[in-house]
Amino acid sequence: MPINILSQETINKIAAGEVVERPLNVVKELVENSLDAFASSITVEIEGSGKKLIRVCDNGSGMDKKDLELSILRHATSKIENFEDLSHVYTMGFRGEALSSISAVSNFEIKTKKKGETSGWKLLSFGGKDIRIVPSAGCEGTITEVKDLFFNTPARLKFLKSDATERSRITDSLEETAIANPEISFKMVSDKKIIFSTSKTNNKLERISDILGRDFSRNLKFINLEHPKVILDIYFTGRDNSLANKKFQYLFVNSRPVNYPKWLIHCIYQAYKESIAHDRHPAILIYITIDPSQIDVNIHPAKREVKFADEQGMYDIICKTIRNALVSHAHQEIKINIETRESEVPKPSNISSSFIYQSKKENIFNTSNSVVSEPISKYNPKNYSIDKYANVFAKQQELTGDAFDEDNIKVLGQAFGTYIVVENKGDLYIFDQHAAAERIRYESYLSQIHHQSIKMQQLLIPETFDLPPSSSEVLKSNIELFNDLGISVEEFGQNSFRIISYPALLGNIAIEQIVKTIVLDIQEDKNAEIKEKREKIIRLSCRASIRAGDKVSFIETKKMINDLFKCDHPFTCPHGRPTAYRISLNELEKFFKRR
């Protein structure tokens, strides 16, 4: 086969495939450019989930005509000059490939005016071709417009998910960026509707509250920790406010939202080990401000991962700090100043939250030559399995309903207020009251749904609640599903909802809390099919109703065990945990050496 030299246009389209997979990537890259241009106000508008239009408007530094011409060339960047510069980048971008890639797969326009210049300029490009630059009036700053994304790479369009999914990805990401950058005001508009809008603040908690809700932020503790190498601001829930999912775990490194590295997840769950149940999760937002020479941000195509030079050191500090804070739960606000180890580096002076916007070449800690990396040998990756939920029942033989004789139930007692001890057909059973109750409720809920006869309870005063914009989208697009299952929830203003009635069998519960939890769960599991979402709603509401439920009196236990054996699957709870532990007479006799 003859070898061809690819045209620049083709090269750019191929490169675009790597950088721009979906509208979200465009939004992220453009917003990062605005952040890098020191904007203090950024507005993102999308239409048709970003496929039709993405417009990002900032009041940043703008570009002159020469820079504008260069900006959409591949590997054109103002942010680094050589590879070594990577070790001290504070900017979000540095690869110089976003604009060339985005413009190759869209109808593209940048309007920009550099600070202090009298005139502005507009660049137009159609699928990366026919590039023109013309004078243009406008304010200082930059407006980048991406229309008809993927119009010339139709295969890409086919890989996109539904509009609602693509839109919620964008909302999620912008929320995260807004939480990372409280000192910048953000606004997001979708199909002409404001999704969220925040004014700038120098208080991180205020921004967290703006985006994730006041109820949520009220429950957070706060630690500020200053160490010569790193500044940490940690907002986290205490023992009493753990959650059913990991939705509220954010990590920001030098204002960049990134995924939690495995060692840091391990560290957090280690710190919480004694404080929350194995199936609960903390909400935790960690802001790390660190000398860029101590991290590597160039290890992931979307820059979602960061590698730290001193993982063990960070691990120790964070784990100890959180653990101590959890124990001293009397204090809502804890300010800690980790002592400077004199042998190390001198403490930097005048550190303020704005220093990360200092010149990119200035080293904040002034320690590039003197930082000592601690050995990371203590850290053992084998300990990573956070899922500590060791199923002690795994070894038990499979229990089936047939093994049990419903007419011969002899309830012997209740232990620890949690277990019911029963003798049956020569076996001793220990039932987990909660797991059993959950199974019973779950199956009767299913049966009511199946017979279309859900018994409802009307709320005297409808429960109203707010959701963060991204979750609100999720609830809106699943609202019928909730209604079909007897949870009558309806929109009640922007990002507000109210619940009018819900299934009677769930009892007296904080239904709005449960709906919120379910929404987060659905949101986390983006690819869930309708069937799976239905399951989630049913299972989670049953579980919540049992958790909140009254103690089962001894008299009720017999009825309960009876009801349990009317279920199709008496020996597991709907979440897959066992409902009973069996000890056969045979085993007892062996143990007591009677045999």
**CB 164, min distance to ligand ADP, A:** 28
The residues in 218-257 that bind Mg ion, with binding defined as CB under 5 A, are none
Q: Which is nearer to ligand ADP, 102 or 489 (CB)?
A: 102
78 binds, among Mg ion, ligand ADP, none (CB under 5 to 8 A by kind): ligand ADP
> Edge-to-edge, what's the strand order for the sheet holding 333-336?
256-258, 249-253, 284-290, 230-237, 220-227, 333-336
**CB 474, min distance to ligand ADP, A:** 30
Q: Which is nearer to ligand ADP, 33 or 106 (CB)?
A: 33
Handedness of CA 183, 188, 194, 196 (dihedral sign): negative
What totals of helices (H) and strands (E) does the chain contain, helices first? Answer: 17, 23
**CB 40, min distance to Mg ion, A:** 18
The rounded Cα 464 to chain-centroid distance in angstroms is 24
Contact positions vs ligand ADP (CB under 6 A):
29, 33-34, 36-37, 58, 60-63, 67, 71, 76-79, 93-99, 142
**CB 368, min distance to ligand ADP, A:** 23
Q: CB within 8 A of 245, min separation 6: which ones?
A: 281, 517, 520, 521, 524
- Residue with nearest beta carbon to ligand ADP: 93
- C-alpha to C-alpha distances, 481 to 268, 311, 327, nearest whole angstrom: 35, 44, 42
Binding of residue 93 to Mg ion (CB under 5 A): yes
Q: Which is nearer to Mg ion, 93 or 238 (CB)?
A: 93
Binding of residue 50 to Mg ion (CB under 5 A): no
313 binds, among Mg ion, ligand ADP, none (CB under 5 to 8 A by kind): none
Query: What 8-state DSSP symbol labels residue 281?
Result: B
Q: Which residues of 43-70 are buried (b: 16+ CB within 10 A; e: fewer)?
A: bbbbebbbbebbbbbbbbbbbbbeebee
Q: Which is nearer to ligand ADP, 70 or 371 (CB)?
A: 70
Q: CB within 8 A of 97, min separation 6: which ones?
A: 15, 19, 74, 75
Binding of residue 98 to Mg ion (CB under 5 A): yes
Q: Which is nearer to Mg ion, 302 or 430 (CB)?
A: 302
Q: CA-to-CA distance for 308 and 11, rounded, in angstroms?
A: 33
Residue 580 and residue 427 in contact, taking contact as beta carbons nearer than 8 Å: no
Q: Which is nearer to ligand ADP, 128 or 468 (CB)?
A: 128
**CB 27, min distance to Mg ion, A:** 12
Residue 235 and residue 204 in contact, taking contact as beta carbons nearer than 8 Å: yes
Q: CA-to-CA distance for 291 and 229, rounded, in angstroms?
A: 7
63 binds, among Mg ion, ligand ADP, none (CB under 5 to 8 A by kind): ligand ADP
Binding range to Mg ion, per CB under 5 A, among 98-106, 326-334, 380-388, 574-582: 98-106
79 binds, among Mg ion, ligand ADP, none (CB under 5 to 8 A by kind): ligand ADP
**CB 76, min distance to ligand ADP, A:** 6
The rounded Cα 138 to chain-centroid distance in angstroms is 37
Q: CB within 8 A of 409, min separation 6: which ones?
A: 422, 424, 558, 561, 562
**CB 331, min distance to ligand ADP, A:** 42
Binding of residue 33 to Mg ion (CB under 5 A): yes
321 binds, among ligand ADP, Mg ion, none (CB under 5 to 8 A by kind): none
In 3D, which of 315, 313, 299, 306 has the Cα closest to residue 263?
315
Q: Can you give the binding site for Mg ion, defined by CB under 5 A?
A: 33, 93, 98
